[in-house]
Chain A
Amino acid sequence: MEFGFKLHEDLLVDHDHSLKTYEELLTRVPSLAMCMSCGSCTGTCVAALKTGFGFRKFLVLLRNGSHRELEQALRYCQLCGKCWLVCPRGVNTRKAIIEMKAMYENKSADKIKADPGIKSITQGKAIHVVTQTRTG
């Protein structure tokens, strides 16, 4: 059925959508909820300087469901802890990194990698597919 107007995909916010992997990580590292994406962690990180992947980006990738990129990015971390020490919100970044690494390397990694994350909303792919099929 057509109503004469379209959904603007970039403006969609789907509150029903759950970020399973992120929320699972949140239960193990509750301090992640304190992150305000200030970027202090990235600013102090040598791996971020060299590769472009800092802790803030790890969280963005996780929420977006970019698992392949995140899995690779986590391997750059030296676990030196500067990000943890400079964090103004007291986020336990080192534990989060170890947990994420463990998540991607344990037996249920495939299940985690199948989690689409928020990407399906921001890029509108999932909904786009649905609308396409509806409209025929």
Chain B
Amino acid sequence: MKALFVIPFTTGVVFLFSALAVLYISWFRKIGWKNQVRMKNAVSWRWFIRSLKEVFSESLLHLRIRKVNLRLWYMHMSLATGWFLLIVAGHAESAYHSGTIFTPMSHATFLDYYSRGETPDGWIAEAFNHLMDLLLLFVLSGLMLAVIKRFRARRLGMKKKPRHQTLDRLALIFLWLIFPARLLAESLNHAFYGGGGFLSSALGGLIHPDPGYRFLSDAAWWVYSLSLGAFFVVLPFSRYMHILTEVPHIFLKNAGTRVIADEGIAMFHAHACSSCGICLNTCQLNDAGKAMGQSLNFVRNYRKPWPVKEEQTMNCLMCGRCRIRCPVQVDTAGLRMNERFRHHSGMLHEYSYLEDKRVRVRPARVAYFGGCMTRLTPSIPQAMKKIFMASGEDFAWVDEKESICCGRPLYLSGQLDAFHELIRHTRDRILECGPELIVVSCPICLHTFSQDYPFRIPVKHHSQYLLELMDRQVIRPVRTGIRTVYHDSCELGRGLGIYSEPRRVLEQITHLQNPDFRDGDGMCCGGSLAELELGFPEIQLIARKTIKDLTSPDTQQLVTGCPLCKKTFHAAGLLPVLDISEAVAAALVSVPAEAERSLSSCAVS
């Protein structure tokens, strides 16, 4: 009866594991059949070992955060690894003392209380005492950095720190209390009853209390147990749920499961988010000053049982920078798409007017699809026309007379039914000319074509096509030597992984100032079609910041591969902005006279 103080701890542990069981079972039951098949196919030793390795490297050592900031990494790593090792070493010590590995959890947690007055016998017990103190010191050093981060986030490389909600703050207080309470409890314990490692015995000696105040030792154990118990009770409802959810999340992620339209997997992703705030610092909405929908805030609200507000769901460029930087690889874009589907999926649509048989496209080898955005940047299709003619290509511009959307804006807004209806029309229009190859000028369309359209013929971005022509020496543009910076658009770079082809084209015709690239580092122009909340001035703030970050003072032109990026950057008016096709067309010297005549007579809308 003397160890009543373990009751809060035990209650907390029982509550935590019961809540976990209920939540995990409910999420597993929500997993759709497609992901169930993926999971079944993925089960193998290789998958298991790879996932286990990732659990150690990311849930404990947090190696991805190391690339962001060393101090931030040390904070996360020391708290996670230190606490984990404290538990493991505590159990080992408890097993050593009791002679069996089946010791109760409370015995291992409060071992110093149970071994009061016992002098360590042998060097192993002594070593355990010092090890436990060392680990506690390790955790406390991380805790100190966590406190600094809360008040001086910039010291840990965070320009913007997350603002936590009530339950998260409550859990934070309990978490911060646990380790100092443990140190105090052990120190007082050793001060009254002797023993302890280098830290707790030294601190106990410093306190040097009167033997009449022995109840203080018991009180400190109560505080430790209460803080642990309270933390465990709050944990399933706070961001600290990530501590335990990261493990199943990593196994499910490595099994190839997808978040889109699967509420079960989505819940694992949402609860694996630790709200660390790294996504906030990589988000370009910071430049716009309207950032209520940033991933951290969105994912936090996604965890709640009620829908996320429309403004928050739609306030996102969907550029994917947060997803690339996320240390636990939470599919932030997938979660947001799920929420958008929930808001807008069933909206009614009517596209029968697109079945106009008067619009005919003549048969050709290459179908050129400009996309809606090239209607607003007519110099791009004109340049492509010049290149097609110079190379003697048999091409048909399928959306010359009538612009037709690829459906990506509908998809990004969450109108899934309308999207499926529209892609049927667009696909028919493109395939009408019986092409062997589809060349697309708009990365937004290209992304949709390669992901959602059942095309059996290759689809290429015009930069890929241009490189092919130049490699085959069908066209021979001259080198102009203009100092150029290439901008990776989000859809082309992060979306489709096309980084090197445009650069190889530009290296041959200009003086390219950024020939190297780091996967995922590209910046958004701000004019994203996925965003519904920003106004023109805010978009321009992002565009200007991107141009300033990308270019140097001696840059003469900015070249991009996306008509929407071109239009957005052009409005900023900081320097000339060209599409890659325009740069190539301008560098062509030997254009057949027939092509020149045809171009001068063709009217591009």
Q: Is the CB of A98 within 8 A of B376?
A: no
| Interchain CB contact (< 8 A) of B413 among A31, A49, A75, A98 | A98
Measured between beta carbons, the chain B residues less than 8 angstroms from A86 are 376
Residue A112 interfacial (CB < 8 Å): no
| Interchain CB contact (< 8 A) of B529 among A50, A81, A102 | A81
Residue A135 interfacial (CB < 8 Å): no
Measured between beta carbons, the chain B residues less than 8 angstroms from A72 are 350
Segment at the B interface, from A4-12, A17-25, A87-95, A117-125: A87-95
| Interchain CB contact (< 8 A) of B356 among A47, A50, A98 | A50
| Interchain CB contact (< 8 A) of B376 among A82, A90, A94, A102 | A82
Segment at the A interface, from B54-62, B397-405, B465-473, B502-510: B397-405
| Interchain CB contact (< 8 A) of B404 among A46, A94, A105 | A46
Segment at the A interface, from B147-155, B340-348, B482-490: B340-348
Q: Is the CB of A78 within 8 A of B351?
A: yes
Q: Is the CB of A95 within 8 A of B532?
A: yes
User: Given contacts A31-B535, A94-B532, A102-B344, is CB(A78)–CB(B353) below 8 Å?
Assistant: no
Residue B225 interfacial (CB < 8 Å): no
User: Given contacts A85-B376, A86-B376, A90-B536, is CB(A76)–CB(B413) below 8 Å?
Assistant: no
Measured between beta carbons, the chain A residues less than 8 angstroms from B351 are 76, 78
**How far is A86 from B567 in the complex, measured between Cα atoms in Å?**
10
Residue A113 interfacial (CB < 8 Å): no
Chain B residue nearest to A52 (CB atoms) is: B353
Q: Is the CB of A92 within 8 A of B532?
A: yes
Measured between beta carbons, the chain A residues less than 8 angstroms from B422 are 78
Shortest beta-carbon distance from A78 to chain B in Å: 4
Chain A residue nearest to B347 (CB atoms) is: A101
Residue A66 interfacial (CB < 8 Å): no
Q: Is the CB of B409 within 8 A of A81?
A: yes
- Give the number of chain B interface residues (Cβ < 8 Å): 37
Residue B314 interfacial (CB < 8 Å): yes
User: Given contacts A31-B535, A92-B535, A105-B348, is CB(A80)–CB(B409) below 8 Å?
Assistant: yes
Chain A residue nearest to B403 (CB atoms) is: A46
Residues of chain B in range 332-375 having any CB-CB distance to chain A below 8 Å: 343-344, 346-351, 353-354, 356, 372-373, 375
Chain B residue nearest to A86 (CB atoms) is: B376
Residue B410 interfacial (CB < 8 Å): yes
Q: Is the CB of A44 within 8 A of B376?
A: yes
**How far is A78 from B403 in the complex, measured between Cα atoms in Å?**
11
Residue B581 interfacial (CB < 8 Å): no
**How far is A46 from B404 in the complex, measured between Cα atoms in Å?**
7
Residue A79 interfacial (CB < 8 Å): yes
Q: Is the CB of B405 within 8 A of A75?
A: no
Measured between beta carbons, the chain B residues less than 8 angstroms from A85 are 373, 376, 527, 564, 567
Residues of chain B in range 558-575 having any CB-CB distance to chain A below 8 Å: 564, 567
| Interchain CB contact (< 8 A) of A76 among B353, B373, B403 | B353
Q: Is the CB of B348 within 8 A of A75?
A: yes
Q: Is the CB of A75 within 8 A of B349?
A: yes
Q: Is the CB of B350 within 8 A of A80?
A: no
Residue A27 interfacial (CB < 8 Å): no
Shortest beta-carbon distance from B414 to chain A in Å: 9
Residue B217 interfacial (CB < 8 Å): no
Chain B residue nearest to A71 (CB atoms) is: B348
* Known A95-B532, A102-B347; 5 more pairs at CB < 8 Å: A78-B405, A79-B413, A79-B418, A86-B376, A90-B537
24 residue pairs of the A-B complex, CB under 8 angstroms, read: A46-B402, A47-B353, A50-B353, A50-B354, A51-B353, A75-B350, A76-B351, A78-B404, A78-B405, A78-B422, A79-B415, A79-B418, A80-B372, A80-B403, A81-B372, A82-B375, A85-B373, A85-B564, A90-B535, A98-B314, A98-B413, A102-B343, A105-B346, A105-B347
Q: Which 3 A-B pairs have the closest CB atoms?
A: A90-B536, A75-B350, A78-B405
Q: Which residues of A contact B (CB under 8 A)?
A: 31, 44, 46-47, 49-51, 72, 75-76, 78-82, 85-86, 90, 92, 94-95, 98, 101-102, 105
Q: Which residues of B contact A (CB under 8 A)?
A: 310, 314, 343-344, 346-351, 353-354, 356, 372-373, 375-376, 402-405, 407, 409-410, 413, 415, 418, 422, 527, 529, 532-533, 535-537, 564, 567
